[in-house]
Amino acid sequence: MSDQNGNNPTLDGVSRRSFLGGVGSAALATVAMAGLTAHAQEREDTRKAEGDHSSSDPGPENQVLLKQNRNTNTPPPTDHGEIGPIWYSFDLARKRVEEGGWTHQVTQRELPSSKDLAGVNMRLTSGSFRELHWHTANEWAFMEYGKARVTVLNPDGTMFIDDIGEGDLWFFPAGYPHSIQGLGADGCQFLLVFDEGNFSEDNTFLLSEFVAHTPPDVLMKNSNLSATDIAKLPKEQLYIFPAELPQSLAADRAAIGGSRVQAPQQYTFKMASMEPTKKTAGGEVRIVDSRNFPVSTSVAAGLVRLKPGAIRELHWHPNASEWQFWLAGSGRMTIVMPDGRARTMDFNANDVGFVPAVAGHYIENTGDTDVVFLEMFKAPQFLDVSLNNWIRRMPPEMATAHLNLDAAALKKIPSEKQEIIAG
């Protein structure tokens, strides 16, 4: 994901672009909760002033974890009740290391709340393959680092081959056989997202196992291979394995039959190089779903960049739960659920976040560098509802009755959806 100095050329390139004019303060976005927050903070300050040590911890502490999880360990006074797990980190997930790369995953087993999506982080060295395979779930992917060549076969026999780089996406339908091969001097690293919460990267259908567990005489009948040829086939799974770098993309396309067998679908998408869907003084977001990437029928995504102090405005998603992957920076998120339940968590690079369907939330950059994260949904389209937009679309007397704000105060709230609000 980053070079030796910790920089990602693709993602850092986005941050160097000029931004459009500013928008309203982040404080205005939280106006609906301002009274509750102020009252709770006043109680907390009073306890401290009176010498109350209720939140002190004189016992042993893991200072490294505490530093990264201040809001998790000692939550803001607006938190209440329990909403279930909303955080896990790939840094806690066991890596399966093979010659040629590694893989590890965050699924419903690690993050029980996430029933719709699961994620796999994978590394391939130069020339190494993720063996030809297929699986029961649709596969959506984001290239974090380096370059790769991908292939996918359609049931009608047409073949798609393409090279992808940092910030690019692909989508492979369930049951369609495909491969990934690392290119360049250092291969690649990428995030795979599957639309099955209990998906397991160890439970895929592999070419090597198909031929290893088919009787040799059947293989001979099926393929016209000789007994000598059959004896050379792999006897166990390859999974991830080293190989020589391929020919040029043009040469590979020509070698399989050129335009005669070329797939009509486009299974890759250049996300990082697209124009931002929304850009403000606080950052930008790129949205990719079935409207601009037609093959991606079951996963919609947004690539979000927040400048220091900026927030992803208070909002919710009406059509799906949200699965996040944090690429850079540090921030926090609060999720608000029915019956007054609320939970705040801290997030850092390589973390996974989860937001239940239709739950209100925000994301705030609490660090001094840009936050970059993906938000993904098991849905054909990316949809969100803005709290500010809703308040301003109400008749003023309706908003006043609910929020106890007069007309002058209501006019301070941005009337249009902002997505990102500067700090």
Looking at residue 368, which CATH number applies to its domain? 2.60.120.10
* Domain closes at, from 270, 290, 309: 270
* Both structure tokens of 23: 């928008």
- The per-residue pLDDT for 45 is 56
Average pLDDT, the chain: 90
Asked if residue 172 and residue 305 are part of one domain, the reply reads no
On whether residue 58 sits in a domain, the answer given is no
User: What residues are designated binding site for Mn(2+)?
Assistant: 133, 135, 139, 178, 315, 317, 322, 361
Where does the pLDDT of residue 3 fall: very low under 50, low under 70, confident under 90, or very high at 90 and above?
very low
Same domain, 146 and 119: yes
**Residue 59, in any domain of the structure:** no
pLDDT digits (tens, 9 = 90+) for 336-369: 999 999 999 999 999 999 999 999 999 999 999 9
Q: Does a structural domain hold residue 404?
A: yes
Classified as helix, coil or strand, 402 is: helix
Question: What is the pLDDT at residue 52?
Answer: 77
pLDDT, average across residues 54-71:
87
82 is catalytic: no
Catalytic residue among 98, 166, 364, 375: 375
Asked if pLDDT for residue 293 goes beyond 90, the answer is yes
Note down the domain range covering 81. Answer: 9-44+64-88+274-421
Domain end: 208, 243, 270, which one?
270
**Percentage of residues of the chain with pLDDT beyond 90:** 83
- Per the annotation, binding residues are 133, 135, 139, 178, 315, 317, 322, 361
Query: Both 230 and 282 in a single domain?
Result: no
* Model confidence at 6: pLDDT above 90: no
Among 151, 416, 191, 422, smallest CA distance to 325 is for 191
C-alpha pair distances (Å), 250 with each of 146, 159, 169, 234, 380: 20, 14, 20, 29, 32
SS3 368: coil
Q: Where are the alpha helices (DSSP H) in 50-124?
A: 63-68, 70-73
What is the total count of domains within the chain? 2
* Residue whose entry in the numeric block shows the structure tokens 């927040």: 306
- Say if 54 falls within a structural domain: no
**Alpha-carbon gap, residue 288 to 175, rounded angstroms:** 23
Residue 142 has which token pair? 């984001």
Structural domain contains residue 56:
no
- Note whether 353 and 282 are same-domain residues: yes
Of the candidates 270, 291, 306, which is a domain's last residue? 270
Q: In this structure, is residue 355 part of a structural domain?
A: yes
Q: Which amino acid is at 339?
A: D
> pLDDT band at 237, cuts 50/70/90?
very high
> CA–CA separation, 289 vs 291, rounded Å?
5
220 membership: H or E segment, kind and range? helix 216-223
Pairing between β-strand 148-153 and β-strand 178-182 as defined by DSSP bridges: antiparallel
Residue that is written with structure tokens 């990428």 in the block: 190
Task: Examine the domain organization and report whether 122 and 248 are in the same domain.
Answer: yes
| 8 Å CB contact between 139 and 194 | yes
